[in-house]
């Protein structure tokens, strides 16, 4: 059994008694109905997380006012019509033994939906850093209306049965906008030169919520301890107003960091940030207040959380994305089965990026159940089939595991001796080790599920005839693109996979050809070794977008390492010690170049499709074998191919 004595202790905060100190914090899901009411998908998603036995669940953002919504399907609490659905959320949490708080939210200027309609409001008419559009400045009447709306929403939460409320004062939303000198340029009583002066709106919101819900109902306030942006407030500034926040009625301080406009995507920390990186802010907060503090910051290991609590740095610890990757991680930790925990890899592909890029509702790149709880088959299959999986990358491994879980007879074929597909190489660049840890974990799960594994075994027509499967899942990945460039046969030319695997040693002056993820990460890997790197990409802009968390950090590192990035540039020919490139019709020579690394990407490896069609064997094509993309698509397609059998 696990010795998580601190983490698993009970704690009481006013009228709310928690069985442990684990918090599932708010995470946007896009699962709500278009009218802002709770959907069956919301309930199934929350139920699955509650089954993991967190002490406290805090809901995703719930709108206090119709002019403060981030999207049409954001859950609402600004009208009594929302109470029945919210009550069902409460029932799901309570049935599993968890307590639940409703997070009350107002987007202010951070809503592209309202900005496009000209309805977004904010303390001052300062454009959103994220969306580049200008909101309307709030009048004093607007301010009073929103303050009352927060109080009314809190009352509805109490009537719906919630155990507490949380006021969202973090990440650049309305309450933060009033605190920030960047977004609050007001000269009336709600503005000012100091954070203490600008805190009036936040204090009045808390005071009003306390007045409406009464003295015994717990109130949490989520803050960004530091704004983490040039010209923003610091934790020392925040320390000056925290006692006022507590006096106004806060019973818990939820200690987050940054805004959505902060550099480095710190609000959705990537693997560049160490687990628990934000605990120092929680500790600083505890220096000036005596109420419980929730620590956040890439937590995935219950043992680390137990240490944080044991040191007195915080009372509660939030595990956000870890609840997406493995809702049962706490149960496994309690039972001493920590090796079975599927740890979040902080890739943000299925959760944060999917929402930012407008790709749909919440998912998890490594857990296909997340966001699909209503269609996730519990099994076993009504009619078990003989299933062949070709390829052992993320998609193939997921398909093999899901098929075995549902009772199918599964054989996995991999033409290489080592399993893992492209992640054998993707785990090597800086900060990508965690990807390798996950693929090793997934391989172990496939073995434990009873899948027959045939590595070093290419699949051909004869094998397919001999096996005679009921269904084949083609997860054979992609093959390297070799462009027709003069001189490409020279011994100074290799590819990114050879460099990352160590098959070819890097030289000193290197040209990387291709600015996609493979090329950018290879350039990062080489720059880390002190090599002089130039990267050329034919597109005018990098395919690796800075709007994504990993993309931002990758671009930043390459800039810091003085890696030369040439976009809109084509490699024309490779010479001895130099190359010829063309940029916007102009030809030039780069020298010295003693090594050319090709990283122009992959194309689907799908030669088995024709054979399968001729043999009339049913099959599905997934992942890079369909089209080279991310881990997220490979895993989701692998799972869904099995679920449809």
Bond prior to 592 in cis (omega within 30° of 0)? yes
Note every long-range contact of 517-521, with CB atoms under 8 Å and residues 24 or more positions apart, other chains counting.
517/543, 517/544, 518/599, 518/601, 518/602, 519/599, 519/600, 520/544, 520/554, 520/555, 520/558, 521/426, 521/429, 521/432, 521/554
For the chain, give the number of residues: 645
**In sequence order, what are the beta bridge partners of 76?**
63
Which token pair is 207? 């005071």
Residue 484: CB partners within 8 Å, gap ≥ 6?
A: none
- In this structure, the number of other CB atoms found within 10 A of the CB of residue 248 comes to 20
Could you give the C-alpha distances from 441 to 444, 483, 502, 624, in angstroms and in order?
5, 36, 23, 21
Neighbours of 511 (CB within 10 A): 26
Only one residue has tokens 């009619």, namely 383
How is residue 339 annotated by DSSP? G
Residue 173 falls in the annotated catalytic set: yes
DSSP string covering 67-132, please? GG-SSTTSEE-SSGGGHHHHHHHHHHHHHTT-EEEEEEE--TT--HHHHHHT--EESS----TTT-
Q: Taking the CA of residue 282 as centre, how many other CA atoms within 13 Å lie in the half-sphere pointing to its CB?
A: 28
CA–CA separation, 602 vs 426, rounded Å? Answer: 14
Q: What is the spatial distance between Cα 430 and Cα 436, in angstroms, rounded to a whole number? A: 12
User: Of 173, 190, 435, 552, which one is the catalytic site residue?
Assistant: 173
DSSP 346: -
Name the residues annotated as catalytic: 173
């Amino acid at each position: 059994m696990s010795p998580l004595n601190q983490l698993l202790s009970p704690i009481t905060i006013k009228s709310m008694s928690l069985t442990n100190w684990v918090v599932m914090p708010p995470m946007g899901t896009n699962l709500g109905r278009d009218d802002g009411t709770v959907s069956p998908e919301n309930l199934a998603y929350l139920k699955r997380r509650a089954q993991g036995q967190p002490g406290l669940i805090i809901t995703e953002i719930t709108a206090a006012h119709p002019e403060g919504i981030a999207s049409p399907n954001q859950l609402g609490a600004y009208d009594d019509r929302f109470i029945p659905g919210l009550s069902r959320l409460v029932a799901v949490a309570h049935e599993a033994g968890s307590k639940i708080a409703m997070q009350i939210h107002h987007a202010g200027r951070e809503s592209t939906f309202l900005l496009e309609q000209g309805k977004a409001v904010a303390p001052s008419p300062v454009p959103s850093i994220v969306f580049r559009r200008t909101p309307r400045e709030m009048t004093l009447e607007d301010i009073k209306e929103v303050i009352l709306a927060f109080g009314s929403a809190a009352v509805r939460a109490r009537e719906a049965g919630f155990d507490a409320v949380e006021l969202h004062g973090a990440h650049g939303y309305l309450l933060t906008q009033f605190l920030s000198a960047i977004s609050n340029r007001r000269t009336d009583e709600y503005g000012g030169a100091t954070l203490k002066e600008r805190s009036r709106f936040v204090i009045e919101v808390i005071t009003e919520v306390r007045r409406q819900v009464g003295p015994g109902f717990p109130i949490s306030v989520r803050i960004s301890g530091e704004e983490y942006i040039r010209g923003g407030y610091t934790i020392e500034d925040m320390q000056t107003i925290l006692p006022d926040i507590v006096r106004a009625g806060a019973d818990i301080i939820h200690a987050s960091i940054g805004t959505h406009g902060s550099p480095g995507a710190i609000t959705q920390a990537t693997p560049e940030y160490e687990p628990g990186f934000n605990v120092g802010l929680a500790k600083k907060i505890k220096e000036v207040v005596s109420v419980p503090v929730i620590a956040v910051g890439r937590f995935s290991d219950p043992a680390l959380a137990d240490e944080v609590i044991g040191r007195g740095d915080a009372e509660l610890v939030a595990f956000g994305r870890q609840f997406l990757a493995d809702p049962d991680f706490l149960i496994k930790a309690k039972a001493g089965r920590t090796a079975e925990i599927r740890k979040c890899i902080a890739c943000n592909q299925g959760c944060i990026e999917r929402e930012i890029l407008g790709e749909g509702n919440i998912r998890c790149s490594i857990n296909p159940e997340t966001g699909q709880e209503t269609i996730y088959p519990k099994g076993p299959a009504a009619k078990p089939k003989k299933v062949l999986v070709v390829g052992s990358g993320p998609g193939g491994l997921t398909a093999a595991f899901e098929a075995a879980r549902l009772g199918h007879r599964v054989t996995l074929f991999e033409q290489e001796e080592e399993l893992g597909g492209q992640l054998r190489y993707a785990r090597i660049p800086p900060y990508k080790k965690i990807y390798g840890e996950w693929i090793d974990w997934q391989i172990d799960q496939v073995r434990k599920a009873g899948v027959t594994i045939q590595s070093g075994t290419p699949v051909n027509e004869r094998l397919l005839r001999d096996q005679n499967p009921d269904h084949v899942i083609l997860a054979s990945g992609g093959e390297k693109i070799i462009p027709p460039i003069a001189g490409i046969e020279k011994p100074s030319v290799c590819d990114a996979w050879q460099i990352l695997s160590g098959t070819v040693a890097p030289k000193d002056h290197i040209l990387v050809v291709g600015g996609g993820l493979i090329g950018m990460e290879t350039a990062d890997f080489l720059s880390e070794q002190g090599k002089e790197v130039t990267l050329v990409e034919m597109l005018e802009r990098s395919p690796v977008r800075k709007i994504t968390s990993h993309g931002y950090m990758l671009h930043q590192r390459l800039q810091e390492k003085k890696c030369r990035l040439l976009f809109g540039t084509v490699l024309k020919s490779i010479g001895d010690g130099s190359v010829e490139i063309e940029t916007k019709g102009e030809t030039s020579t780069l020298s010295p170049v003693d090594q050319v690394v090709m990283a122009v990407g992959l194309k689907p490896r799908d030669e088995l499709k024709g054979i399968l069609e001729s043999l009339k064997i049913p099959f599905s094509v997934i992942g890079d074998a369909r089209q080279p993309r991310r881990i997220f698509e490979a895993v989701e397609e692998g799972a869904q191919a099995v679920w449809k059998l």
